[in-house]
Every structure is written in structure tokens, then in C-alpha cells.
């Protein structure tokens, strides 16, 4: 095997940005990826000419000009604005909670009327909220909690809101304008050429080996490299010596439909408790697609067991303590840089991952190119 300056474990966004910077700085990179394609959880499959977000809807949004300029060097972004709709037992509401939502819910027409309504309902909770239900009612009042928060949250976490800690919801976005744009960031969009094109550019100049788990033969891969960038799960790197970190998982049911427009918007949240899925994604709307057919994915939250796809880290005391122990081990590991959502056991938006990988590269190479 040839020798390389860097072994990059995982062809996701962190690995891609770091690899691009390494190559720009004259370094050689070998990339080892467990899956059959590059892109990590941002990767898409093309079905009926439509980019299908295989691992869940991915909308790029950021307030970092530097990150936005960086990604725009590789792909052009369209002007998609995320404006999800909530479906509660057939009643439709705009998200995030805004004047359109309040008008549909209560028939109010002005911010003053909406504020009075919410304030009257929040007053029901006095003292420190004891659980997520009380916290949510305090933030948005009883009606919005009951119709738009409760069922969705319970499906997501697999538990009753009364049994979930209040800190999970620190704030709920409430806007007293008629603005359905879900994000507050100044930059937002989806690559016109698709996310896969972004990854092809990021990994340009690297040797890539797919369908290969680094941990199955780590000596083989590390023997010929100077340094390792590891973006897999941190506990698996250390053979789960302190036990496994926990996640929530997701299952997607994807279907091609013989209609050109199924729901009229990319994201519909099903906020009642009875519908077993939390969302339906209609992928073509991310790209203003005009194909004759459409592809939808139903998203089902699920319990996670070792061996399943890890999606959301469980942000509780047990797991945070466990992660700190693995982090201490990682800090003692010579010549290995741990980065990305799995190695750092945290929920990371894409822009934050790009920022973090650029920061790591700057530390490594002295500058961002
Ligand atoms: P990522 O998981 O993408 O990549 C790691 C790679 O390493 C994977 O390809 C994996 O197969 C590989 N790997 C792991 N172990 C290995 C091993 N032992 N050997 C070889 N390869 C190995 N963000 C956002 O900004 N907007 C959005 O709309 C969304 N939407 C969204 C939806 C859902 C459902 C989730 C869970 C997350 C989002 N995100 C998001 C966040 C986004 O997915 C996240 O920021 C990036 O995927 C993180 O990239 P990483 O490179 O860190 O991990």
C-alpha cells in the first residue's frame, strides 16, 4: 500500500472539508468509508431524476459568511427557504409558530391579540417547570403545546412529555410576523447540482476506499499514514471500554408516487400522537422539481440499539459523563484527530461541521486555503 500523509476515516462532511484543505496544502489523503458512497448523512440517492435525501431532509443554512463563501466555492445554492407545515388531525398550521399559525389556530389578526392569547395560556404554569410539558406550556401556551408540540415530541423521544426533562426545550421559536421561514440565518439553500456534487469536489485528489470499516483492520490502515482523522463513533474507536453511548434512531419509508405533487411543500410534520411517523418529506420541492412523478419519505423515530444507524445523541447526564471519559482517552491518542458529529457525540448542523473542520485544518496547516 502506498503511504499517505492522512488517513481520513469517514467520507462525511467533516472528513470532506478536512480532506479538501489537506489536498490544498499539498498533503496526500486516503479515505476509508464504511458505506457504499461518499457524503455521510448528507448523501442523496437519485430516484426518478429527484435527489432523495437518504438520511433525512438536509437544508443548508448559516449565519457564518465564511462558511457560506467556502461551500459556494464548490456548488451553487438555490433559493429554497424552509417553510414546513404542521398537520394536526387534518388541520394545517404554518411553522415556525408565527402570525399565520395564530390566525389559523385562534382567528386573531394582530400581534397584540396573539400575544394576549399566549400570555393568558402561559399563566397557567407558575413556579419552576417540572417537566417538558410544563416548560412548553409556559413558552407557548396550552393550545399550541397540545396541537403542535406534544404528540410530535412524544413520538420523537418515545416518552410522555410529563416524563421528559424540561431542559430539552429551552425555547420554542415564536414570531409575531407573517413569516414562515423556519430559519433566522441570512444564508440558506440546497445545492443546485445536489449534495453529492459537493462531496465529489471536496474529496477531489483523494484515494477513496468504500465499503470498508476502518475498525475491522485498523493496523493495516494506520501503518502507512502519518496522521488519522477519525469521524466515526468515539466509543467504537475505544472498543466500548466504558460502555456504549446512546442515540435515538430513525427509519425512513420511501415511496415513488405517480403524481407530480403530493403535498405541495417539502416538509409536513404530523403533530398528533396517533400517526406513527413524525414527518413526510417530498424531496422534489427542495429543488423546485418539475418531474412527472414524486418521491416521498415517511420518517419514523425509533429506539436505537448497537448496530443501528445512530442519529441523535441522547443529551442526558449519563451519556454526557460517558462521553467525557471517552474524550479524555481521545486526548491521549497521539496522531489522531477526532471530529464531526459521531466522534464528538453532539448534534451538529452542517454549517457548524464545516466551521469545525475548517478550524481543525487551520490548526493543522496554519491557514485555510
Ligand atoms: P457523518 O455521519 O455525515 O459522516 C461520518 C461518516 O463516517 C459516515 O459516512 C460513516 O459511514 C463513516 N464512518 C463511521 N464509522 C466508520 C468506520 N469505522 N469506518 C469507516 N467509515 C466510518 N444539518 C443541517 O445543517 N441542516 C439540516 O437540515 C439537517 N438535517 C438533519 C436531519 C437529520 C435526520 C439528522 C440526524 C441530521 C441533520 N443535520 C442537518 C445534521 C447533518 O447530518 C450533520 O451536520 C452532518 O451529517 C455531520 O457530518 P459528519 O461528517 O460529522 O458525520
Instruction: Tell whether 198 and 330 lie within a shared domain.
Output: yes
pLDDT tens string 190-222? 999 999 999 999 999 999 999 999 999 999 999
Mean pLDDT of 78-105: 97
Q: Is the pLDDT of residue 60 over 70?
A: yes
Taking each helix axis from N to C terminus, what angle separates 350-365 and 65-72, rounded to the nearest 10 degrees?
A: 90
Instruction: Tell whether 91 and 50 lie within a shared domain.
Output: no
In short, whether 201's Cβ falls inside 6 Å of ligand 1 is no
In short, whether 10's Cβ falls inside 6 Å of ligand 1 is yes
Q: Residue 1: which pLDDT band, with cuts at 50, 70 and 90?
A: low
Tell how far the Cα of 337 is from the centroid of ligand 1, in angstroms. 17
Question: What domain range includes position 322?
Answer: 4-80+187-246+313-365
Tell how far the Cα of 174 is from the centroid of ligand 1, in angstroms. 29
pLDDT tens string 308-339? 999 999 888 899 999 999 999 999 999 999 99
Instruction: Tell whether 40 and 148 lie within a shared domain.
Output: no
pLDDT at 2: 63
Instruction: Tell whether 76 and 97 lie within a shared domain.
Output: no
Nearest protein Cα to ligand 1, atom 27: 58
What atom in ligand 1 is closest to the CA of residue 340?
52
Instruction: Tell whether 98 and 226 lie within a shared domain.
Output: no
Nearest protein Cα to ligand 1, atom 23: 349
- Catalytic residue numbers read 171, 175, 248, 279, 299, 347, 349
Mean pLDDT of 26-54: 97
Mean pLDDT of 162-184: 90
Vertex 42, ends 225 and 252: CA angle to 5°?
Answer: 125
Instruction: Tell whether 91 and 162 lie within a shared domain.
Output: yes
Least confident of 67-71, 157-161, 364-368: 364-368
Tell how far the Cα of 350 is from the centroid of ligand 1, in angstroms. 8
Mean pLDDT of 13-20: 98
Q: What is the CATH number of the domain that holds 205?
A: 3.40.50.720
Q: Are 284 and 194 in contact (CB under 8 A)?
A: no
| CA–CA dist 257, 299 (Å, integer) | 16
In short, whether 232's Cβ falls inside 6 Å of ligand 1 is yes
Instruction: Tell whether 96 and 70 lie within a shared domain.
Output: no
| Strand residue runs (E) in 190-230 | 207-209, 225-230
Q: Is the pLDDT of residue 256 over 80?
A: yes
Q: Is the pLDDT of residue 123 over 90?
A: no
Instruction: Tell whether 209 and 158 lie within a shared domain.
Output: no
| CA–CA dist 316, 248 (Å, integer) | 12
Tell how far the Cα of 41 is from the centroid of ligand 1, in angstroms. 4
Taking each helix axis from N to C terminus, what angle separates 150-157 and 132-140, rounded to the nearest 10 degrees?
A: 150
Instruction: Tell whether 331 and 213 lie within a shared domain.
Output: yes
Final residue in a domain of this structure, among 134, 168, 202: 168
What domain count does the chain have? Answer: 2
Tell how far the Cα of 277 is from the centroid of ligand 1, in angstroms. 21
| CA–CA dist 134, 162 (Å, integer) | 8
Nearest protein Cα to ligand 1, atom 9: 40
Q: Are 140 and 129 in contact (CB under 8 A)?
A: no
Instruction: Give me the percent of the chain exceeding a pLDDT of 70.
Output: 99
Nearest protein Cα to ligand 1, atom 6: 10
Instruction: Find the helix or strand (DSSP H, E) in which 189 lies.
Output: strand 187-189
Final residue in a domain of this structure, among 137, 168, 199: 168
Q: Is the pLDDT of residue 281 over 90?
A: yes
Amino acid at each position: 500500500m502506498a503511504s499517505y500523509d492522512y488517513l481520513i476515516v469517514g467520507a462525511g462532511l467533516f472528513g470532506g472539508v478536512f480532506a479538501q484543505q489537506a489536498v490544498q496544502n499539498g498533503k496526500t489523503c486516503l479515505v476509508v468509508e464504511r458505506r457504499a458512497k461518499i457524503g455521510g448523512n448528507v448523501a442523496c440517492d437519485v430516484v426518478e431524476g429527484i435527489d432523495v435525501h437518504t438520511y433525512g431532509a438536509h437544508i443548508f443554512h448559516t449565519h457564518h459568511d465564511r462558511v457560506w463563501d467556502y461551500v459556494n466555492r464548490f456548488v451553487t445554492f438555490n433559493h429554497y427557504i424552509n417553510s414546513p407545515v404542521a398537520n394536526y388531525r387534518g388541520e394545517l398550521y404554518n411553522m415556525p409558530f408565527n402570525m399565520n399559525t395564530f390566525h389559523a389556530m385562534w382567528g386573531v389578526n394582530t400581534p397584540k391579540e396573539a400575544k394576549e392569547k399566549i400570555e393568558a395560556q402561559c399563566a397557567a404554569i407558575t413556579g419552576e417547570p417540572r417537566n417538558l410539558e410544563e416548560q412548553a406550556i409556559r413558552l407557548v401556551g396550552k393550545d399550541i403545546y397540545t396541537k403542535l408540540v406534544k404528540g410530535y415530541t412524544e413520538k420523537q423521544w418515545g416518552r410522555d412529555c410529563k416524563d421528559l426533562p424540561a431542559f430539552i426545550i429551552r425555547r420554542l421559536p415564536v414570531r409575531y410576523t407573517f413569516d414562515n421561514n423556519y430559519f433566522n440565518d441570512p444564508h440558506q439553500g440546497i445545492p443546485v447540482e445536489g449534495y453529492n456534487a459537493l462531496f465529489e469536489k471536496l474529496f477531489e485528489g483523494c484515494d477513496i476506499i468504500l465499503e470498508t470499516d476502518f475498525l475491522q483492520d485498523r493496523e493495516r490502515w494506520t501503518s502507512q499514514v502519518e496522521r488519522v482523522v477519525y469521524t466515526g463513533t468515539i466509543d467504537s474507536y475505544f472498543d466500548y471500554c466504558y460502555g456504549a453511548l446512546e442515540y435515538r434512531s430513525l427509519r425512513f419509508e420511501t415511496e415513488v408516487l405517480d403524481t407530480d405533487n403530493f403535498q405541495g411543500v417539502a416538509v409536513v410534520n404530523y403533530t398528533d400522537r396517533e400517526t406513527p411517523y413524525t414527518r413526510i418529506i417530498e424531496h422534489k420541492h427542495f429543488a423546485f422539481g418539475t418531474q412527472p412523478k414524486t418521491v416521498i419519505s415517511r420518517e419514523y423515530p425509533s429506539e436505537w440499539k448497537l448496530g443501528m444507524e445512530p442519529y441523535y445523541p441522547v443529551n442526558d447526564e449519563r451519556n454526557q459523563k460517558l462521553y467525557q471519559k471517552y474524550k479524555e482517552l481521545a486526548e491521549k491518542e497521539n496522531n489522531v484527530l477526532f471530529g464531526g458529529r459521531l466522534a464528538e457525540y453532539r448534534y451538529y448542523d452542517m454549517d457548524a461541521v464545516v466551521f469545525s473542520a475548517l478550524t481543525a485544518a487551520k490548526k493543522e496547516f496554519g491557514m485555510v486555503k
